[in-house]
Amino acid sequence: MDDQQSESEDDSNQQSESDDESNEVSSHSPQSARSQSSQSSRSTERSSNNSNTPSTNSSPSTSPIKKTKKPIRRVDRSDFAAAPDAWAANDKPIHSLKCVTSNKRGIYKLPMTKEQNDFADQIFKDYVSRDILGLSEKHADAAENKRVAKIRAAARRAALKAFLSTPCNEISTFYKRKKKEYKLYRAGFRKVTNKRRRNYFRFCSERQVAKVRQYIKSGHPVDDLDKDGRTGMHHAAAEGHAIVIRELLKRGAAVDSKERLRNATPFWYSALRGDLSTGELLIKARCDVDHRDVVNQQTPLMLCAVGNFLTFAERLIDEGAFLTFQDSLGMTPLHHAAFHGHTSMVFLLLEADHEVGGAKGVRDNAGNLPVDWAYSRFSLLREHQYKESAKLLRFGLDNDYMDDDEYLYW
């Protein structure tokens, strides 16, 4: 009985071992790899069978074999482009490269050869050069906006700086001016007030040279301006005070200072008055003998032709004054002399005009020559001076052989 019992136990042990082996083979079969549910059920059965067998006679349990993943080959585009044939000869798979697009989404692309890469770069350059999306214009607009914003920011900073610093600068300037005035006062100079300014110009107009000298020594500016922009030189030249002109020039007064009303110089006022004494001083001081006023565009020679100032005009001609300058009406000094019937002035201007054609052939804005003005004035007024002027302009300077009626061609 004992022998039969032991034999039955051996048979049961062998049966359990064979079951274990069959379970192991079934667990590693391809069907278990395909179906997860069947693998889990058979493992459950295997565990239940093992639990039914005695612990003393059972064989040690074996752990399932883990599947190892194949290593992923990380490739680079440059490496693939360097040796594409080597990659093609290799049997291992070439994994694609992950590229991040502009919308932050990853797409997978196969690596390219050098030719393909250059071709793609050329396509991109052509796309950028055509500027389909208008990027160049957008960039230019952005740069312009940036430049304008920078300028505006600089202007705001300058305005803020001026706003903060102006009070301080005004206070500093006021303090410096008062300090200078006090020093001048202690040194014997006087502050320039409106009353002293009016007195200074009155002394220049009234030929009070001693008072003018005293005011200048007490600190009054030589080129001080009145409300019309006139200096002491303008007032003295307009009144013909040569001694005041000489004193002011000695003190360093400006020769060609211009007023505000007519933009006239002191020499222009001397020519308007015909005062050669003041004009000679200003000519020696190198003044402008062809200065025009802004109202009628008249030169000093035109003023002499209107006023028939022969000596002054002769001095201007010696200084090289232009004979063909035209005023706002297009009239030259010869036009003015013929219009007013100044025969001696016409003779002087014709004698000094050595150019071919010269002022004799210049027409004014109405198309009139100087001889036309002489004819029209003579026919209107019937005065002798217009007749002589017309003779000079029509036949020249040598007209002794003519009778009085031969010059009239009408």
pLDDT at 168 over 70: yes
Q: How far apart are CA 207 and CA 171, in angstroms?
A: 41
Q: Which amino acid is at 64?
A: P
Residue 305 pLDDT > 80, yes or no? Answer: yes
92: pLDDT strictly greater than 80: no
CATH node for 190-288? 1.25.40.20
**Residues 6+ positions from 349 with CB-CB distance below 8 Å:** 305, 313, 323, 333, 334, 337, 359
Report which of residues 192 and 325 the model is more confident about: 325
Asked if pLDDT for residue 64 goes beyond 90, the answer is no
Specify the pLDDT at position 12.
54
Chain-wide mean pLDDT for the chain?
A: 78
Show the tokens assigned to 226: 């009145």
Helix intervals (H) in 35-96 = 36-52, 77-82, 84-89
C-alpha to C-alpha distance for 291 and 263, rounded to whole angstroms: 9
pLDDT of residue 21: 46
Average pLDDT over residues 176-198: 84
Cα-only R_g, the chain? 58
What mean pLDDT is predicted for residues 375-382?
A: 82
In 3D space, the residue among 193, 246, 236 whose CA is nearest the CA of residue 215 turns out to be: 193
Whether the CB-CB separation of 292 and 259 falls below 8 Å is answered with no
When mean pLDDT is compared across 6-15, 112-121, 208-217, the lowest value belongs to 6-15
Average pLDDT score over residue span 54-77? 52
pLDDT, average across residues 248-255: 94
- pLDDT tens for 329-343 read 999 999 999 999 999
pLDDT (0 to 100) of residue 218: 86
Pick from 371, 351, 353, 352: nearest CA to 363: 371
**Between 381 and 245, whose confidence is greater?**
245
Mean pLDDT value across residues 269-295: 95
With contact defined as beta carbons under 8 Å apart, do 189 and 219 qualify?
Answer: yes
Overall average pLDDT of the 192-201 stretch: 91
Burial grade of 224 (CB within 10 A; 0-12, 13-18, 19 or more):
middle
Task: Find all residues with CB under 8 Å of 286, minimum gap 6, and list them.
Answer: 255
Whether residue 327 contacts residue 357, with contact meaning beta carbons closer than 8 Å, is answered with no
Do residues 283 and 315 lie in contact, with contact meaning Cβ atoms separated by under 8 Å? yes
> Quick check: 20 pLDDT over 60?
no
Query: Residue by residue, what is the 3-state secondary structure of 120-182?
Result: HHHHHHHHHHHCCCCHHHHHHHHHHHHHHHHHHHHHHHHHHHHHHHHHHHHHHHHHHHHHHHH
In 3D space, the residue among 278, 277, 261, 270 whose CA is nearest the CA of residue 299 turns out to be 270
Token pair for 348: 């002087």
Return the closest-CA partner of residue 368 out of 392, 405, 393. Answer: 393
What's the pLDDT at 410?
A: 36
**Residue 206, pLDDT score:** 94
| DSSP string across 233-297 | HHHHHHHT-HHHHHHHHHTT--SS---SSS---HHHHHHHHT-HHHHHHHHHTT--TT---TTT-
CATH 1.25.40.20 in the chain: give the residue spans.
190-288, 297-410
The kind and range of the H/E element at 97 are strand 97-100
Encoded amino acid at 296, one letter:
N
- Please state whether beta strands 97-100 and 106-109 pair in parallel, antiparallel, or not at all (unpaired): antiparallel
Highest mean pLDDT: which of 178-187, 241-250, 354-363, 368-377? 241-250
Distance (Å, rounded) from C-alpha 285 to C-alpha 319?
Answer: 13
Q: Please give the structure tokens belonging to residue 110.
A: 């196969």
- Measured distance CA(379)–CA(408) in Å, rounded: 11
CATH number of 297-410: 1.25.40.20
pLDDT of residue 408: 44
Residues in the chain, how many?
Answer: 410
**Cβ atoms of 298 and 267 closer than 8 Å:** no
| Higher pLDDT, residue 286 or 189 | 286
